[in-house]
């Protein structure tokens, strides 16, 4: 029998949690007897480590962020005939859907993916389906944004890219005078991201006041299955500083949130994949935020698998794509948390306590993303946080106490007065 092949679109990663996602995806694919083909941009393949590329039987250069390039590749394929295509990367979700459509294999409708990716279109669909949503406008320039603020006061408001990711370019605006600074963020993405595709217009939304959470899960047979609810911790400028499973929501609110997420995914037309859906809990109930037809970052995938011992999140996805019966979902158990310690701005002289924390037996993963001599600025998005640690414990209170104690041992020694360029 010919071995089936999984095409991994975006087979390298910039972040430690992205590399861990790819590791788990590849391992779970191997356990299902799949050959692995990896595709990525020529630049990413050139800078990838040998260990990253060694996971794949075949590696091919392809602009995995360009849907047209991926469609052309699929239409002219020769030796490679993948049975399934998967990605962990936001910018490759649409190209993956286009390849699946061209090859006639399981995947989301590309038009549905475009709708989810463009946040205003997704909000419009949800609003039409009866879900409460913040008021939103697609703006072309400063004048459009100022008009929205005048007509939808008194504020605050949120300004963000139409199809952004990782918190890049997101600002809270309390008065119109702050708009030029907020719009200026669109032109300076993190260097690690490379050149992001240009987005037509930007969004201004009314601010939703409420505690922030997300729902994680996978679709099987077109039906969304919520596997965990995640409590978020945020700092200044919407930068996420922690993720924890379980969420701590009461049973009624958790049920309301999970039900809303499942109905919303169905309403917008998502039928395949791992999902990550953000929401707020407000005095008036659950309000859905952004929908993503890919898994969450920040090691959320590890939190989900740790708190459902034996679960193979990506394996369940692959079983669905290949038409195989998935294994039963294990019961929820225990707690896990990802924490992002922040550092005072300045030139880093040393980090104290990190090795001790990294070796703690309850720590599942730990990565220091800065080194002495680096100039650390304020954390502005997911790519500018200096460190991450992930830990597990028997319950939510225990994991919070554990992580608080571990974080207290870490000290970033920075020389003040030096700023990042």
Do residues 362 and 368 touch, judged by C-beta distance below 8 A? no
Residue 79 lies in a domain: yes
347 and 329 both lie in a single domain = no
Range of the domain at 144: 135-206
CATH number of the domain residue 394 falls in? 3.30.470.20
Residue 289 has φ and ψ, to the nearest 5°, of -100, -130
* Structural domains counted in the chain: 4
Closest C-alpha to 7, from 68, 72, 57, 75 = 57
Taking the C-alpha atoms of residue 20 and residue 275, their distance in angstroms, rounded to an integer, is: 17
In a domain, 242, yes or no: yes
Does residue 297 share a domain with residue 248? yes
H-helix segments, 185-289: 251-268
Query: Tokens representing 75?
Result: 């239409």
> How far apart are alpha carbons 409 and 404 in whole angstroms?
9
Sequential DSSP letters for 12-49 = --SSHHHHHHHHHHHHHHHTTT-EEEEEE-HHHHHHS-
In a domain, 114, yes or no: no
For CA atoms 119, 223, 166, 97, the dihedral sign is: negative
Q: Which of 273, 307, 333 lies at the terminal end of a domain, its last residue?
A: 333
In this prediction the pTM is: 0.92
Domain CATH for 144 = 3.30.1490.20
- Reading the block at residue 390, the tokens are 């992930």
Do 62 and 151 sit in the same domain of this protein?
A: no
Q: Pick from 105, 121, 149: which residue ends a domain?
A: 105
* Residue 129 counted as domain residue: no
Both 229 and 317 in one domain: the answer is yes
**In a shared domain, residues 213 and 184:** no
pLDDT tens across the length of the chain (421 residues): 358 999 999 999 999 999 999 999 999 999 999 999 999 999 999 999 999 999 999 999 999 999 999 999 999 876 788 999 999 999 999 999 999 999 999 999 999 999 998 888 999 999 999 999 999 989 989 999 999 999 998 989 988 887 766 567 788 889 999 898 888 877 555 544 445 445 568 889 999 999 999 999 999 999 999 999 999 998 876 789 999 999 999 999 999 999 999 999 999 999 999 999 999 999 999 999 999 999 999 999 999 999 999 999 999 999 999 999 999 999 999 999 999 999 999 999 999 999 999 999 999 999 999 999 999 998 887 788 999 999 999 999 999 999 999 999 999 999 987 655 4
Same domain, yes or no: 80 and 158: no
SS3 for 238? helix
> 297 and 190, same structural domain?
no
The H or E element spanning position 275 is: strand 274-282
């Amino acid at each position: 029998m010919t071995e089936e092949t999984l095409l991994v679109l975006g087979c390298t990663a910039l972040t430690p949690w992205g590399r861990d996602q790819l590791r788990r995806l590849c391992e779970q694919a191997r356990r299902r007897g799949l050959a692995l083909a990896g595709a990525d941009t020529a630049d990413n393949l050139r800078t990838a480590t040998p260990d990253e590329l060694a996971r794949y039987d075949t590696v091919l250069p392809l602009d995995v962020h360009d849907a047209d390039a991926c469609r052309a590749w699929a239409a002219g394929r020769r030796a490679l005939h993948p049975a399934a295509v998967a990605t962990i990367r936001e910018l490759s979700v649409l190209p993956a859907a286009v390849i699946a459509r061209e090859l006639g294999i399981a995947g989301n409708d590309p038009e549905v993916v475009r709708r989810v990716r463009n946040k205003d279109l997704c909000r419009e669909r949800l609003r039409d389906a009866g879900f409460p949503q913040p008021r939103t406008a697609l703006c072309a320039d400063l004048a459009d944004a100022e008009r929205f603020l005048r007509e939808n006061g008194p504020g605050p408001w949120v300004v963000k890219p139409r199809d952004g990711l990782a918190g890049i370019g997101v600002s809270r605006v309390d008065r119109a005078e702050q708009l030029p600074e907020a719009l200026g963020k669109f032109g300076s993405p993190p260097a690690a991201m490379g050149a992001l595709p240009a987005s037509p217009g930007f969004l201004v939304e009314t601010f939703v006041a409420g505690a922030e959470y997300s729902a994680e899960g996978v679709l099987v047979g077109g039906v969304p299955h919520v596997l965990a609810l995640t409590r978020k911790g945020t700092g200044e400028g919407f930068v996420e500083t922690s993720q924890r499973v379980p969420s701590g929501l009461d049973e009624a609110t958790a049920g309301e949130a999970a039900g809303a997420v499942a109905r919303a995914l169905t309403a917008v037309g998502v039928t395949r994949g791992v999902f990550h859906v953000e929401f707020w809990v407000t005095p008036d109930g659950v309000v859905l935020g952004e929908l993503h037809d890919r898994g969450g970052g920040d090691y959320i995938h590890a939190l989900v698998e740790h708190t459902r011992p034996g679960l193979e999140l990506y394996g369940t996805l692959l079983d669905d794509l290949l038409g195989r019966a998935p294994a039963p979902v294990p019961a929820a158990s225990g707690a896990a948390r990802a924490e992002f310690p922040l550092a005072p701005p300045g030139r880093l002289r040393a980090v104290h306590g990190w090795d001790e924390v990294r070796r703690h037996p309850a720590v599942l993963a730990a990565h220091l993303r800065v080194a002495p001599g680096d100039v650390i600025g304020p954390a502005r998005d997911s790519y500018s946080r200096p460190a991450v640690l992930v830990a597990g414990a028997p319950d939510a209170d225990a994991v919070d106490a554990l992580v608080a104690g571990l974080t207290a041992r870490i000290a970033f020694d920075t020389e003040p007065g030096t700023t990042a360029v």
